[in-house]
Structure 1
């Protein structure tokens, strides 16, 4: 294989993992634009030096490791225009144990093994295990709020309700369709929306959320079996995304992360 073929093959391997890096950077920063800026910076770093990929670890592990090298040295300089509430949210994040959220997201949302997380974060497995435990406690103790669930499958909706209630949050209600979601949003305000992409009667969870966001300014967690389709970087896309089928820990982590960036009474209190 010639050098051009090698380059094309490597680019294809990176491209296949980019949606997951976007998901991670957005969840970590609470912002599509800020997360995507970090993703671009990571790719620029790789273009200059591919040597971090010359080891036995997978392309995905090495891609995330390259991001962490950028993340740890940049001082989180890429910024969106800050509102007072978002500034306060980031101030609260700064008070959390260093690297704890990163370890938690890598484990619960991206489902890396502890060994792979240790490689990504350039630490050891015991440190990773301790960071995850600390993150779970600190995030669980932080904010309690009101969560709207948009999900047409009764069993899944019940599972989601039980998971977020166990975290101490209040479920404002469960909507099965676009129409029900709008009616629920008009009746009860929420601090967070947890929404499936495909709803009953073939209505769209994305359309429902877009209409709800005209009523309230809150973070949204989308649930989908095809996360890569919503993480192209080409248009306004979710900062928080859970893949189906999901694990309880994934929902817990995503909800806790998203609540930090809630621009509602949760942060005003």
Structure 2
């Protein structure tokens, strides 16, 4: 009979908690959309502050994703393909920013890249440039929180492809750089692209590290999450409308990219 699962009916002991999980994820979003006044949503879409913050969020998230790809792909390859001393420690350190409270991430960034930080002070003395309270500081904060997601996801994609093709290329005389460019990356490309989307999405929603490290200056460091935080203190309806705008942008981008980057068998 067409439409019947060849593996049999799904057991209720799995269906019920699965449905509960879906409700936990969906109901708050549906409730937020339902509580939003359409007029407030129009005002949010036409607000100059919202447009500036949204543009800054999208551009800094895209920049952070690209930076994370450039430096994160080689790190993921090392973790997946090279057995070096301390590999487990490096992997653990990569995961740490994923579990840090966002405010702690901002303080860590300030300790390293602040005007008097470990690296920030010599950089300021040498070039006159400082990351905090600049758009580049926003990108740096986004890279710090998004990079672990890209590295771990990409490492998983590289491991799933196995090393058999790499070994075959080596027996044919290909060096590791050639194998990386022509074999490893093309085979893992769907997983790498999915990791890029994940890093971009994580960057888009970043708040704590950004505001702690860079403050909240319109046009420079005020992203959509920080604008929503400020609006929430004075106008709950405006904050609600801005949140729905953020939700629509996030869902729209992920849906648009799904068929291109997140295709599954």
After TM superposition, the score normalised by the length of structure 1 is 0.23
Which has the larger share of helix?
2
After TM superposition, the score normalised by the length of structure 2 is 0.23
Task: With a CA cutoff of 8 Å and minimum separation of 6, indicate the structure with the bigger relative contact order.
Answer: 2
Point out the structure with max Rg over C-alpha.
2
Which has the larger share of strand?
1
